[in-house]
Amino acid sequence: MGKKALILMLALMFVIPQLLGCGIKNALPKKEVPPLDSYSSVVVTFFNDKPTEKYDGLTTMLSNTIGTRMSIKYEDKVWSYDQSERVCPVKAKLAELNIRVGDIFKDHSLATSLANVLQADLIIIGRLKEPKFTEQRSGKIEYDMSEASVVGATRYYSIYQTAMLIADFEIIDPKAGQVIWDSRIIGYKKYKTRYRTGNPPLLESEKTMLADLRKDLSQKVTDILSPAVIH
C-alpha cells in the first residue's frame, strides 16, 4: 500500500466516526432559509419530542423569546406565539382544533387548519430533544498553594460541565401544505468551576444552564431567520 493511500485510509477512519457520532445531518452545512418576504403573518411554536413535566415550560419560554425577538425586528409582520401559561394563543387554538403541535410535524396538511384560525401564512415549528447535561471532574490539581498556605494543604481542582439542547426546525407553508425549510439547531454551553480542598464543589445549577441554553438557541435561531425575513 502506498504512503498516500495509507494516509487517506487513516484520515477516513478518523473522520467517519466523527460524522456518525455527531450525526451526518449536523456535520453538513445548514440549509439557507428561503426568502420569506412574501409572508405577512407567522406562527412560532415548539413541542417536546418526549413529553415530560420537568421541561414542559421550556417550549413556551422558547416560543416567547424567539417570537418577541422577531416581532421587535420585523414589526410589519404579525407574529403569533405563546407568551405564558395564560397568554397562549397558539396552544388555545390547537386545543380547539384537537391538534397537537407534534401532529403537524408529522402531517403537514394539518398546518392549514391552524393557519386558518390564526390567519397565518407561515408556521415555524421546533421539536425539542430532552436537554443533556454532563459533569466531569479532572482530579488533577490545577493550582497548588500547599507550601505557601499556613492552614495546610490548599489545592484547587476543576469541574467541567456541559449543557446541550437540540431542536429540529421546520418552516411550513400551510397553503401548500409542505415544508419549505428544515434544519437542526443546537444550543450549547460549557462551564468550568474551581473548588478548594476541603470545600464543597460549586456547580452550575440546572436552572441556570437551561436559561443559558434558551438564550443561546434563541439567538442562533434569530440570526438564521433574520436575514431571510425582508421588508
Q: With both helix axes pointing from N to C terminus, report the angle between 56-73 and 206-225 in degrees, rounded to the nearest 10.
A: 40
Q: pLDDT of 172-204, one tens digit each?
A: 999 988 999 999 999 999 998 877 766 777 889
Percentage of the chain lying above the pLDDT 70 cut: 77
pTM, to two decimals: 0.77
C-alpha to C-alpha distance for 137 and 134, rounded to whole angstroms: 10
Does residue 208 have a pLDDT over 90? yes
CA dihedral over 112, 113, 116, 119, signed as positive or negative? negative
C-alpha cell at 153: 494543604
Q: Which CATH class, in words, describes the domain spanning 33-228?
A: alpha beta
d(Cα 37, Cα 40) in Å, to the nearest integer? 8
Alpha carbons within 13 A on the beta-carbon side of 46: 30
> pLDDT digits over 49-66, tens only?
988 888 989 999 999 999
Amino acid in position 4: K
3-state secondary structure of 133: strand
Distances (CA, A) of 197 to 140, 148, 161, 190: 12, 14, 19, 23
Identify the residue whose cell numbers are 405563546: 82
Distance of CA 157 to the CA centre of its chain: 31
Rounded Cα distance, 72 and 23, in Å: 34
- What integer pLDDT is reported at residue 96 of this predicted model? 96
